[in-house]
């Protein structure tokens, strides 16, 4: 390994020589005892040596001479070795700075993202190469994978068609069964970019079956399993990737896994470690972006803005961080800055999801004309994606559920479910679409499934709470609406105010908690034997006050027989409950 060794020099040796206070010394060839004024080359101002200094030293002994010779040989060897290390063969050994193509290749080898500028250089380099070497299967595979990455990170779906053509050319030159697993991995990545997760799973599992130690296949398998909602398979693939590929890429995947399962503290700790260990600008920016997303989901918009700004300072081409910053600015009520940020990112990274977010921001600001215009832009992007083979059904369904035809959203999402796309995002969108289409009971099942995955998403909790309120499940509805606002009080410029309004409508829970959470009432106490309670019934009317009877010539009627009439009410209670029951059974 070449070393950047610079000759070491004492700083004092670089200074100009200073005159000695005693004057310059005589040259070594001056004759001892000679008059310096007559000795050629001698300094006339130096007095001749006198006394002991005028006597020449005795000649060295043989032992001293041999010792000096050995020391000189060792010193010469050390100096020679140092010279060879410092400048081998007379060439400069300073490491050559890698160019953009080399940096992109190094990033791909490490499993890390390359910057967009380096990715552009790699694409240009491989394009020229395959023109001159059309049978080079690895170069075609590299070019195809680079096209996939460029299309994904620039939101230009047209590159996916070029990627497919290049990867097919690679497989024609060398089939995957003959060792061209790189092209198969590229096909899996292309399927994920088009949101065809079932096809990505098939491509990836084919590579894994052929060579389980191919580490590059596990990231595409993780994405495929996540899109299909297979948490168990995604977890196993993440663990295997961590075994085969240590470092920042494995930490990033592990943080994403924890995040999807709702393990916030673990996700944050792992994401911070990835950010601390990242060195390349693109890799560092991606790690900082992940920290910004986690802060946003925790309801900490100030921290989110700081992390997104750090990502943009590290890599100005990380446009996804600009979209994340815009989202956080809305939560901080800095809507003018948020609109400007959204408009900027839409000119650089026009993803349909960002277009929908900007349209809903306009609607929350009561800018109805701008909102309609933005929704029209969304429709154009969805058509372009469809033409390029990209499935954006989830984003389209979200739009149709809230701003269009909910029945269309239900149809789109049922198609996703049949394709085994059963992630938390699809389950939540389908449950909400069914509710908006008037099928809340059916939608409740899917909304619960989304929340039960454990992911901390305020929108999921809000949708479930609204559906439960519609079904008169007021206790669970209140809990989930509170959870949504506790998770992220500003999760949506349109839905967060609706969540607060719905919670106020439900009001405070009754004393002791909601009815469905109260413990069963205690058993009634035993009835005491003395003076049992009177049988429940209407309160007896008070007896009217008897007035004294006036004298009348008419004779009084005879008193009725005791066996034919009920006894007059008395203040004395019967002696036992049986007597009460007997009396009540006799009463009319």
Can you give the residue ranges of every domain in the chain? 99-210, 246-344, 393-509
Q: Is the pLDDT of residue 325 over 70?
A: yes
Q: In the CATH scheme, what architecture does the domain 246-344 have?
A: Alpha Horseshoe (1.25)
Q: Is the pLDDT of residue 376 over 60?
A: yes
Q: What is the pLDDT of residue 587?
A: 40
Q: Is the pLDDT of residue 558 over 50?
A: no
Specify the DSSP class assigned to residue 17: P
Domain 393-509 fold is 1.25.40
Range in 95-109, 192-206, 330-344 with the lowest mean pLDDT: 95-109
Range in 284-293, 536-545, 567-576 with the lowest mean pLDDT: 567-576
Residues in the chain: 588
How many CA atoms within 13 Å lie on the side-chain side of 514? Answer: 12
Range in 56-60, 420-424, 525-529 with the lowest mean pLDDT: 56-60
Q: Is the pLDDT of residue 400 over 90?
A: yes
Higher pLDDT, 576 or 212: 212
Fold match, 99-210 / 393-509: yes
Please tell us whether the domain made up of 99-210 is placed in CATH 1.25.40.10: yes
Q: Is the pLDDT of residue 5 over 70?
A: no
Mean pLDDT of 533-558: 45
This prediction has a pTM of 0.72
Q: Is the pLDDT of residue 69 over 90?
A: no
CA dist., res. 366 & res. 494, Å (int)? 11
CA dist., res. 346 & res. 448, Å (int)? 33
Average pLDDT, the chain: 80
Q: What is the pLDDT of residue 399?
A: 98
Q: What is the pLDDT of residue 11?
A: 36
Instruction: Please give the helix or strand (H or E) that residue 534 lies within, else none.
Output: none
Q: What is the pLDDT of residue 88?
A: 47
Q: Is the pLDDT of residue 241 over 60?
A: yes
Range in 156-170, 381-395, 495-509 with the lowest mean pLDDT: 495-509
Query: Which of 157, 187, 149 has its CA nearest to residue 170?
Result: 187
135 burial via Cβ count (<10 Å: 0-12, 13-18, 19+): exposed
pLDDT digits (tens, 9 = 90+) for 29-62: 433 344 444 444 444 434 444 433 344 444 555 4
Q: Is the pLDDT of residue 233 over 90?
A: yes
């Amino acid at each position: 390994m070449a070393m950047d060794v610079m000759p070491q020099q004492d700083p004092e040796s670089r200074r100009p020589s200073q005159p000695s206070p005693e004057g310059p010394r005589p040259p070594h060839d001056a004759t001892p005892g000679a008059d310096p004024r007559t000795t050629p080359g001698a300094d006339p101002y130096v007095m001749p040596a006198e006394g002991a200094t005028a006597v020449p030293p005795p000649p060295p002994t043989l032992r001293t001479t041999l010792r000096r010779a050995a020391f000189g040989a060792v010193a010469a060897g050390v100096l020679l070795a140092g010279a060879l290390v410092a400048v081998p063969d007379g060439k400069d050994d300073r490491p050559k700075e890698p160019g953009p193509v080399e940096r992109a290749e190094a990033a791909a080898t490490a499993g890390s993202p390359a910057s967009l500028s380096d990715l552009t250089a790699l694409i240009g380099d491989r394009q020229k190469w395959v023109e001159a070497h059309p049978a080079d299967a690895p170069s075609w595979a590299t070019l195809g994978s680079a096209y996939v990455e460029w299309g994904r990170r620039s939101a230009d779906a047209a590159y996916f068609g070029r990627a497919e053509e290049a990867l097919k050319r690679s497989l024609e030159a060398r089939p995957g069964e003959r060792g061209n697993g790189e092209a198969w991995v590229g096909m899996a990545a292309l399927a994920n970019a088009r949101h065809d997760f079932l096809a990505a799973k098939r491509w990836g599992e084919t590579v894994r079956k052929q060579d389980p130690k191919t580490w590059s296949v596990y990231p595409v398998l993780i994405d495929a399993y996540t899109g299909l909602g297979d948490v168990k398979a995604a977890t196993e693939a993440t663990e295997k990737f961590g075994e085969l590929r240590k470092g920042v890429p494995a930490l990033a995947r592990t943080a994403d896994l924890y995040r999807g399962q709702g393990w916030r503290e673990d996700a944050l700790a792992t994401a911070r470690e990835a950010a601390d260990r990242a060195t390349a600008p693109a890799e560092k920016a991606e790690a900082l972006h992940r920290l910004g997303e986690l802060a946003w989901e925790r309801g900490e918009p100030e921290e989110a803005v700081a992390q997104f700004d750090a990502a943009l300072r590290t890599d100005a081409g990380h446009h996804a961080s600009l979209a994340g910053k815009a989202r956080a600015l809305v939560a901080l009520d800095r809507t003018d800055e948020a609109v400007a940020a959204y408009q900027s990112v839409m000119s650089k990274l026009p993803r349909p999801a960002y277009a929908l977010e900007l349209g809903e921001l306009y609607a929350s600001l009561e800018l109805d004309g701008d909102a309609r215009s933005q929704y029209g832009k969304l429709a154009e992007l969805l058509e372009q994606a469809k033409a390029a083979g990209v499935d954006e059904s989830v984003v389209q369904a979200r739009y149709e559920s809230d701003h269009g035809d909910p029945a269309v959203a239900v149809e789109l999402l049922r198609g996703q479910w049949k394709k085994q796309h059963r992630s938390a995002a699809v389950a939540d969108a389908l449950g909400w679409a069914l509710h908006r289409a008037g099928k809340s009971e059916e939608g409740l099942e899917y909304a619960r499934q989304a929340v039960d995955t454990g992911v901390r998403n305020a929108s999921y909790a809000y949708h479930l709470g609204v559906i439960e309120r519609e079904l008169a499940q007021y206790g669970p509805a209140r809990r989930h609406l509170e959870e949504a606002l506790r998770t992220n009080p500003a999760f949506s410029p349109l839905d967060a105010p609706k969540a607060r309004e719905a919670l106020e409508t439900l009001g405070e829970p009754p004393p002791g908690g909601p009815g469905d959470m109260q413990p069963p009432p205690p058993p009634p106490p035993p009835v005491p034997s003395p003076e049992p309670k009177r049988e429940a019934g209407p309160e007896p009317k008070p007896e009217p006050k008897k007035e004294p009877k006036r004298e009348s010539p008419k004779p009084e009627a005879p008193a009725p027989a005791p066996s034919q009439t009920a006894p007059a009410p008395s203040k004395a209670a019967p002696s036992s409950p049986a007597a009460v029951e007997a009396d009540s059974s006799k009463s009319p």
